[in-house]
Amino acid sequence: MKKIFLSLLLLSTQRISAQNFPEIQTFTLKNGLRVFLLPFGQIPSCSVQLLVNCGRKNETPGQQDYSQLAADCLGFGTAKYNQTQLQSALFRLGTSLQANAGEQFTSIQAAFSEKQLAEGLSVFSEAVLHPAFPEKDIKQSISQLIDFNNPDKMDISDQASVFSNFWLFGAGSPLGRYFYKDQLMKVTADSLREFYQFNFTPRNSRLLLCGHFDAAAVQKMVEQYFGPWTAEFGEVNGVVLDRPVISKKEYAFIPHQGAVQCALEWMKMGPDPTSKDLLAFRAANQIFNDVIFKEIREKGGKTYGISSSYSVAQASPVIRINTMVRNEEMYNTIRLFDTTLQQFYARGITDAELKNAKTTLRNNWTMIQEPEAVMGFFNPLLFPRADLRKNYLQLVDGLTADEVNKAIKKYLNPDSYKLLIAGDENALASSLQHLPGLIRFHAKDIQVNQ
């Protein structure tokens, strides 16, 4: 009786009070593909992600959007499956291929039940390693890109995003160049295939599996399906891009006829993703994000949403503050932003703000529930040392107000930013004249090869 009572007690009180880091196993195939196994959770399911060190940063002039087009082609079929068959095979397995190219890398993901993992890896590897690059599907994709991304017609928030990059990085940088019709019409299956073959190589990629699985069995599956992957090219050496410099306040405008409101995008330069300032800055930016939300939305009622974002996941050092406001509120919002940033820069953070920021940063791990988020947290292209990643919570807990205040002084200077405005020129005319040195963009400005 005693034993049963005790065991009943144990069952009734068993809790997991902290999110445990997975015990990561890694190995490298003979072809150079590095593989990471991240056991996580009890649900009999496994997510798979191939990360390729290829993104917009790799696009030479004339290759705008090649990284995303190449990623899209992975879903267009292979020698073994046409597009419909590939889609059906994945559908029956309860998944689809999620292929997305960002600035720095491309991610291809799918998720399978544990008992269907072998079949799933067979289909997944077939799709990512043997794409057929069918001309017809590529042309259709390009046609849609052209229609949906007409710089005269796209929504103002998209316009702001496109032209802010163009302005910040310049047409000389792959991150500043944007695709346009004449350039896209020259894309062929062969040119995409060449881009894929150069960049999608075992040595230039990482394979992650996360979920519930038998590690030994999974290792054998990976060897079977990814072992034969060969490539003419090896690892693509690091692409070094010039870091933009923003040394004063600058204003630019892109017109959108008939817009009922305007989009505002402020840009500043934050730390490089490998900088030791990174965590302190993220805390600073989190606090700043809360401050501008409170001042501009909660108190000011100027907007439905405003946020200051800095993308660790995309390894981008650019701080972007985005919002949309009514045309008649444009200038007031800019002034309110200036005041808010000046006051924030001058005052230093409070203990409560530091505590909240640390809680939010801690949540980046403790609130994770799904394998996809675990893989994102341990992304080996962003965080080559998984063992250091496990120190994340200690690093957050160890952050001091002094470090965060220093990050504010270094990166959130109120006297320098670039502000891009997208909206109706007539409706904004009287406000725009207040902005000194305003640069006026036109849709055709992005139609450059270099």
By CB under 8 A, what part of segment 267-296 binds other proteins?
Answer: 290, 294
* Closer of 16 and 216 to other proteins (Cβ): 16
Q: Does 216 bind other proteins (CB under 8 A)?
A: no
Question: 113: which strand partners?
Answer: 45
DSSP three-state, residue 264: strand
Residue 436 CA to residue 130 CA, distance in Å, equals: 54
For 211: left if phi > 0, alpha if psi spans -120 to 50, otherwise beta; the answer is left
Q: Tell me which of 79, 232, 248, 298 binds other proteins, using CB under 8 A.
A: 298
Q: Does 164 bind other proteins (CB under 8 A)?
A: no
Report in angstroms how near the CB of residue 157 gets to other proteins at its nearest. Answer: 7
Q: Tell me which of 6, 136, 186, 397 binds other proteins, using CB under 8 A.
A: 136
Candidates 228, 235, 234, 236; CA nearest to 29 is 228
Of 165-173, 312-320, 369-377, 392-400, which segment contacts other proteins by CB under 8 A? 369-377
Q: Does 10 bind other proteins (CB under 8 A)?
A: no
Question: Are 62 and 73 a contacting pair, CB within 8 Å?
Answer: no
Q: Tell me which of 29, 31, 34, 96 binds other proteins, using CB under 8 A.
A: 96
Place of tokens 């163009």: 166
Q: Does 144 bind other proteins (CB under 8 A)?
A: yes
Q: Tell me which of 238, 301, 436, 437 binds other proteins, using CB under 8 A.
A: 301
Residue 13 CA to residue 64 CA, distance in Å, equals: 57
For 408, the token pair is: 């504010």
Report in angstroms how near the CB of residue 274 gets to other proteins at its nearest. Answer: 27
Q: Does 303 bind other proteins (CB under 8 A)?
A: yes
Interacting residues with other proteins between 103 and 132 (CB under 8 A): 111-113, 116
Interacting residues with other proteins between 61 and 90 (CB under 8 A): 83-84, 87-88
Positive or negative: CA dihedral 353, 359, 365, 367: negative
Candidates 273, 340, 255, 280; CA nearest to 306 is 340
Q: Tell me which of 304, 351, 385, 387 binds other proteins, using CB under 8 A.
A: 304
- Give strand ranges (E) for 29-91: 34-39, 45-52
For 195, the token pair is: 């881009």
Report in angstroms how near the CB of residue 181 gets to other proteins at its nearest. Answer: 11
Q: Tell me which of 297, 390, 406, 410 binds other proteins, using CB under 8 A.
A: 297
Report in angstroms how near the CB of residue 409 gets to other proteins at its nearest. Answer: 25
For 387, the token pair is: 């063992």
Q: Does 185 bind other proteins (CB under 8 A)?
A: no
Q: Does 8 bind other proteins (CB under 8 A)?
A: yes
* Closer of 45 and 205 to other proteins (Cβ): 45
Q: Tell me which of 366, 391, 400, 426 binds other proteins, using CB under 8 A.
A: 366
| Side chain identity at residue 93, one-letter code | L
* Closer of 45 and 64 to other proteins (Cβ): 45
Q: Tell me which of 7, 148, 214, 228 binds other proteins, using CB under 8 A.
A: 148
Q: Tell me which of 258, 276, 351, 387 binds other proteins, using CB under 8 A.
A: 258
Q: Does 18 bind other proteins (CB under 8 A)?
A: yes
Counting Cα atoms < 13 Å in the Cβ hemisphere of 52 gives 29
Q: Does 150 bind other proteins (CB under 8 A)?
A: yes
Report in angstroms how near the CB of residue 151 gets to other proteins at its nearest. Answer: 12
Count of residues that interact with other proteins, criterion CB under 8 A = 73
Q: Does 343 bind other proteins (CB under 8 A)?
A: no
* End-to-end Cα spacing for the chain: 81
CB contact set of 391 (below 8 Å; sequence gap of 6+): none
Residue 158 CA to residue 259 CA, distance in Å, equals: 13
Report in angstroms how near the CB of residue 125 gets to other proteins at its nearest. Answer: 19
Q: Does 98 bind other proteins (CB under 8 A)?
A: no
Place of tokens 């015990």: 23
Report in angstroms how near the CB of residue 27 gets to other proteins at its nearest. Answer: 26
Residue 267 CA to residue 343 CA, distance in Å, equals: 18
Instruction: Output the CA angle 45-51-56, nearest 5 degrees.
Output: 140
Interacting residues with other proteins between 36 and 55 (CB under 8 A): 41-45
DSSP three-state, residue 74: coil
Positive or negative: CA dihedral 34, 38, 39, 42: negative
